[in-house]
Structure 1
Amino acid sequence: MSTEFDDAMITTTAADMPEKFFDRFMFNLHPDDGTSPSLVLGAGAYPPRDVADGFVVLSTPTEQRNLRFSTELSATDGASVGPLRWETVEDNKVWRLVLGANRTGLELDLTWRARAPYWLGSVDVENADGNTTSFDHLFQPGRYEGTLTLDGESQSVAGWYGVRDRSRGVRTMSGGQGLHVWYQAQFPDRAIGFLLVEDREGGRILLEGAVMHEDGEVDDVTDVVHDLVFTDDNDLVSGTVQVTTAAGRTYRVDADATGGGGYMAGGGYGGHHGKVRGRDHEEYDVYPLDGSVNAKTLDSALTDRSSTFTWDGQTGYGIFEYALTRSSSYQYQPTLDPTTAEA
């Protein structure tokens, strides 16, 4: 397993560090049978701004509970913010995550272990406003051990799936995007992961990712086409993606995304990360999952939907992250030719 990426969070300022530099991690957690709850949590350090922040997004069948917290980075130990603590037990292999008592009613004591090598790339995009986005981006599938306690009831999470995502650098992506997909489908012996961004005319801005195998193979993704089904409120219902890899393999994967929840506005997405809020700032809210809250009513369309995937007769589980621009100039167009078949 590669150890090229230095996993420890960067929490001190260097002389040449850009003012907008960040170092963030995100983990998701969901049962390996497609049931609930689904959880996304993360934290970030912004040394030039002396900010550390984090979030918890918990989705149940009826509601989504959101906690956002921020403080001065210099007031932390560099491995905690709010109720969340983390430890890189072994770089790129083992993390420990502890979530203490908080207003969501969720507490965690977890160990995440990688089950395949990570994929690492660099996102470099020239934005419409003239600013440049440039950051390292890593994602890696794993499984959990430990305990989840929700509203006083504890359960083991042994064997639950979860992908970690690490990003480090400067991210100022703005304007011109039509479709965003961050796709993480976990199957028994491999995980299919990619990031796809298209412009409002359907042209490709960015594609990166790989199929990460438990036997150690990392097979880069070279092409992705899709046929996705959205509601009038831009909520994903289902969809098919066809992934082609450098080794010449083709994966045609169907997704059921009807589970609900995962609206990342609850985690501060939409431009709120890294803002200076002073010490011990906290926000909490609840989204009812009755249709009254959706990607069009929130300040960010980004959604991390816990989904069930089907490929080659196998069932997998994971996160289908998506966002459609709310610009009136955009209409989603599929790129998958329905007459093509899996190789």
Structure 2
Amino acid sequence: MLTKGDDFPIHQTPEPIAYAGSDRNFYDRYFFNGCSPDGADFFAVAFGVYPALNVADAHFSVIRGGTQHCLHASRVLGMERMDLTVGPIAIEVLEPLQKLRVTVSGEGLSADLVFEGRSFPIEEPRFVKRLGPRLFMDYTRLTQNCRISGWVEVDGERRELSGWTGTRDRSWGIRPVGAPDPQPTPGAGLQGFFWQWTPINFADRSVFFHINADPDGAAWNTRAVILPDGSGPEGGWHAEAPRMEDVDLIPGTRHAKGGTLKIPLAQGEATVRLEPVKTFLMRGIGYGGEWRHGALKGELAVAREDIDLASADMAAMEHLHIQAISRATYEAPGEAPQQGVGVFEQLILGPYRPYGL
């Protein structure tokens, strides 16, 4: 089947673009978030395409006061991967790897947002994880901190974005999507999953850190990057052995009160102290819950969901995956301290012995 993508020189196999290998869990996703300078207002967007499931979905979620307002949309893909619209949510690539636009209009939630990269995106180390004989994850991700312009409107109350920063990423490859496989594979059970991700915006630079670790704390994918504004593809400082220290969990949850990131430098060590100020539930943009990524909802389905954050059970399975909107302090030898803002994303499933879980 030929589609619009076949008229661009982007093929990776002898097949038409409509076909993405043979794994039903192949996906291709956009993610965006944005935060006001004081951390009081926050939004996130997810947009996914699942070629083998023939589904596309999109989500927009914004925190106003103590409520997380969510807009979910899903449709049949029709094997056309170049159509970046799902119901009321759309993406435009204005300048590849530098400038993108997201528009939203539906169910009382609207937005017109332009994301402009502060530097060339970083390519994170390839994520590959097997569970027994099964390939659990195999994907590539680029990440880019951005300055954001535009506006967000909730039930008629519009707020212009002034001084907002955030993060966008693009990832593609294989990870669990849609309905789970009904037949378990002997020797392929998930023993535990540990994830932290901290893209932080400072005045003249971005700091990135991530870690995937086994239940005993051994990292199977980790890196930190310090990236000055305007850096090109080879710019910035890349550290292969960062550490997240001073993590205490909020009682009754698997969410951290805060943390201290240590990044080895040539002249010593950089320290980034993270102070969470607000919790964003990732189920609001399709990471779990009824609107999980890749779920078949029919030809087109659109729904709104409002979550009262004060009454949400933060120990519930659907709320384990969060982004903690955080203030950050950066210190390094020979430099004046800097204040910034970003997220401390967290997901801990199963045991994690370093935290006593």
1:263 and 2:281 matched? yes
- Return the match for 1:134 from 128, 134, 138: 138
Q: Does 1:250 align with 2:269?
A: yes
Report the CA distance between 1:306 and its aligned residue: 1.2
Work out which of the residue numbers 203, 209, 217 in structure 2 matches 1:202: 217
The answer to whether the 8 A contact 1:57-1:262 is kept is: no
Q: Matches of 1:34 and 1:253 in 2, distance apart?
A: 17
Distance 2:239 2:110 in 1: 36
Specify the SS of the correspondent of 2:299: coil
Q: For each residue in 1:121-156, what CA deviation from the matched residue of structure 2 results, as whole angstroms up to 9, or x when unmatched?
A: 343323324322211111001101112222212222
Task: Rate the CA distance shift 1:184–1:15 in 2: closer, same or farther, 3 A.
Answer: closer
Matched residue, 2:162: 158
Contact 2:54 2:76 in 1 (8 A): yes
Instruction: Tell me how far apart the structure 2 counterparts of residues 33 and 244 of structure 1 sit (CA, whole Å).
Output: 28
Matched, 1:287 2:332: no
User: 1:224, 1:122 → 2: CA distance?
Assistant: 14
**Distance in 1 separating the partners of 2:159 and 2:305:** 24
Distance (whole Å) between structure 1 residues aligned to residue 90 and residue 310 of structure 2: 32
Shift of 1:213: 1.4
How many residues are paired up?
319
The answer to whether the aligner puts 1:223 opposite 2:228 as a matched pair is no
Q: Shift of the alpha carbon at 1:250?
A: 2.5
The aligned counterpart of 1:175 is 190
Q: Is the 8 A contact 1:119 1:218 kept in 2?
A: no
Q: Which residue of 48, 55, 64 corresponds with 2:68?
A: 64
The partner residue of 1:23 within 23, 28, 35 is: 28
2:323 corresponds in structure 1 to 304
Counterparts of 1:167 and 1:248 in 2: how far apart (Å)?
33
Letter in 1 for 2:199: Q
| 1:330 aligned onto 2:352 | yes
Deviations 1:147-187 (CA, angstroms, capped at 9, x unpaired) = 22222122221331010011011124972334310111110
Deviation digits for residues 30-60 of structure 1 (CA, Å, limit 9, x no counterpart)? 112322x211111011122211001122223
Verify: 1:192 aligned to 2:207, yes or no.
Answer: yes
How far did residue 64 of structure 1 move? 1.6
Structure 1 residues 258 and 52: alpha-carbon distance in aligned structure 2, compared to 1, 3 A threshold:
same
Between the aligned partners of 1:31 and 1:15, the Cα distance in structure 2 is 38
- Structure 1 spans left out of the alignment, 5+ residues: 1-5, 335-343
SS at structure 1 position matched to 2:78 = helix
Larger mean CA deviation between 21-30 and 195-204 belongs to 195-204
| Corresponding residue number in structure 1 for 2:4 | none
1:253 deviates by: 0.9
Equivalent position SS for 1:229: coil
Shift of 1:228: 1.3
Q: Bigger CA drift: 19-28 or 267-276?
A: 267-276
Residue 72 of structure 1, CA deviation: 0.7
How far apart, in 1, do the equivalents of 2:240 and 2:79 lie? Answer: 44
Mapped to 2, the partners of 1:41 and 1:111 lie a distance apart of 12
CA pair 70-249 structure 1, distance change in 2 beyond 3 A: farther
Specify the code of the residue in structure 1 equivalent to 2:228: H
In angstroms, what is the RMSD of aligned CA positions? 2.6
Task: Give SS of 1:86's match.
Answer: strand
What letter corresponds to residue 355 of structure 2 in structure 1? Q
The residue identity in structure 2 corresponding to 1:41 is: V
Given that 2:20 and 2:51 are in contact with CA atoms closer than 8 Å, whether structure 1 keeps it comes out as no
Q: Deviations over 1:298-339 (max 9, x none)?
A: 4251101211001122110011101122x3x434439xxxxx
Q: Is the 8 A contact 2:89 2:102 kept in 1?
A: yes
Q: Taking structure 2 as the reference length, what is the TM-score of the superposition?
A: 0.82
Tell me if the contact between 1:64 and 1:286 (Cα under 8 Å) persists in the aligned partners: yes
What is the deviation of 1:91? 0.4
The one-letter code matched in structure 1 to 2:117 is A
Structure 1 window deviating more from structure 2 (165-174 vs 233-242): it is: 165-174
The equivalent position to 2:260 in structure 1, one of 209, 223, 240, is 240
Structure 2 vs 1, CA of residues 274 and 201 (structure 1 numbering), >3 Å: closer, same or farther? same
The one-letter amino acid paired with 2:281 is Y
Q: 1:248 to 1:119 in 2, by over 3 A?
A: farther
- Is 1:273 aligned with 2:293? yes
Q: TM-score, normalised by structure 1?
A: 0.85
Given that 1:119 and 1:209 are in contact with CA atoms closer than 8 Å, whether structure 2 keeps it comes out as no
Partner of 2:185: none
- Are residues 24 and 178 of structure 1, via their aligned partners in 2, closer, same or farther at CA, if it must alter by over 3 Å? closer
1:112 Cα shift?
A: 0.9
Identity of aligned residues (%): 24
| Contact in 1 for aligned 2:261/2:273 (Cα 8 Å) | yes
